[in-house]
Amino acid sequence: MTRAELVAQAGATISRGSKSFRFASRLFDRTTRERAWLLYAWCRTCDDIADAQELGGMLGQRSDPKEAQARLEALTARALAGETTGEPAFDGLGQLSREIDLPRRFVDDHLAGFALDAEDWRPRTEADMIRYCYHVAGAVGGLMAAVMGVPADDENTLARAVDLGLAFQLSNIARDLMEDAAADRIYLPVDWLVEMDMPPGELAKPFVRPRLAALARRLNDLSEGYTASAKQGATRLPFRARWAVLAAAGIYGEIGREVVRRGDHAWDSRVVVPRGRKLVLVWQALMEARAMGSGSIRPWALAARRARRWLPER
C-alpha cells in the first residue's frame, strides 16, 4: 500500500475506534495528524489481536494468548525492519518509523503490556497498577510525543507525555470496572481490594458498589495528578500540538470526573462525554494553550466553527 492508502486506512480505523481521539487529532497540522493516525491504528490493531476483539468492542474468547502475543511481536519487528507485512496497521508503523525517530523502547514496552494480559497478570500494589498503565498507555504517550516532534533525548518532555498516558489509562480503568470484572480482568491492586474488604470475584455484585465508587474516586485522584504533571510538558510543544494535547486531556479527564459524579451508578451505562461538553472542553483547551505561550491560530470564532464540524456525537 502507498503512504496515502495507509493513512486512509488508519483514518478509517480511528474514526470507528475512537471518535474523541480522532477529533483531538484534527487540531494537529496535517502531517502530525496523519502520523498520529498511523500510530493509533497500530495500537488499536495490537489491542484487538491480543483481546480477540474488533475496534475495542466486547472482549472475545482468546484461544491462545501467547500465540497472539508472538504474532504482535513478529509483525512489529518486521515492520520496523523495513519489511512489508501485508497488515496495514503494521505497515503503517513501518512507514511512521521511516519518517520520524520512533523510540524503540516505547514500542517494546507497549508490546510488553499485552504480554502481561496474556499471562493473566494481576497488580498486587498501586505501583504494579501504575506499571501496567505505563505499558498499555504511558509508552504510547511517549510515542505520541515523538510524533509531535519531541526529540528522543528530551527525557523530561517524554516523561510528561508518559504521565498523560497514565492519566488516560487510570480513567479507562475507572470507567470499565464492571466490564473488565465480567471478563475476569481486575486491574485494581489487590492491596486496595483487601483494604476495602472486596473479594475480586464479587466486584460485579450490587452490594459492593459504594466501595467500588470510593476506589473510582481514588483512581480519578491519581489520574488528575498525572494530568497536572503532563501539562507541564505541554508548554514545550508547538501551539497546535499543545492545543490538541490539552483538548484530549480535558475530554478524557471528563470521563473520570463523570464516573466520580455518578457514584454508585457509574456503571449503569457506559460513561461518555456529550457533544456540547466536548466543545466546551476544546474551547477551554484553546484558552489554556494560548495562555501557556504565543502561537498563531485562525480567529477564535472560525476555530470554534471548525471544531463543531469535527465534533463527534459521542
User: CB of 66 within 8 A of CB of 105?
Assistant: no
Give which of 116, 168, 99 is closest to 140, Cα–Cα: 168
The string over 106-126, giving b where at least 16 C-beta atoms fall within 10 Å of a residue's C-beta and e elsewhere, is bbebbbbbbbbbbeeebbeee
Question: Does pLDDT of 145 surpass 60?
Answer: yes
Average the pLDDT over 45-72 and give the result: 75
pLDDT tens, residue by residue, 223-279: 999 999 999 889 989 999 999 999 999 999 999 999 999 999 999 999 988 888 988
Q: What is the pLDDT of residue 211?
A: 94
Question: Does pLDDT of 8 surpass 60?
Answer: yes
* pLDDT band at residue 54 under the 50/70/90 scheme: low
Q: Which residues contact 72 (CB under 8 A, 6 or more apart)?
A: 46, 49, 50, 111, 114
Question: Does pLDDT of 308 surpass 50?
Answer: no
* pLDDT band at residue 59 under the 50/70/90 scheme: low
Q: Which residues contact 121 (CB under 8 A, 6 or more apart)?
A: 132
**Percentage of the chain exceeding pLDDT 70:** 90
Quote the CA–CA distance of 311 and 124 in Å, as a whole number.
39
Domain ranges in the chain are 3-310
Quote the CA–CA distance of 9 and 41 in Å, as a whole number.
8
Q: What is the pTM of this model?
A: 0.87
Q: Which residues contact 127 (CB under 8 A, 6 or more apart)?
A: none
The class (CATH top level) of 3-310 is mainly alpha
Average the pLDDT over 70-90 and give the result: 96
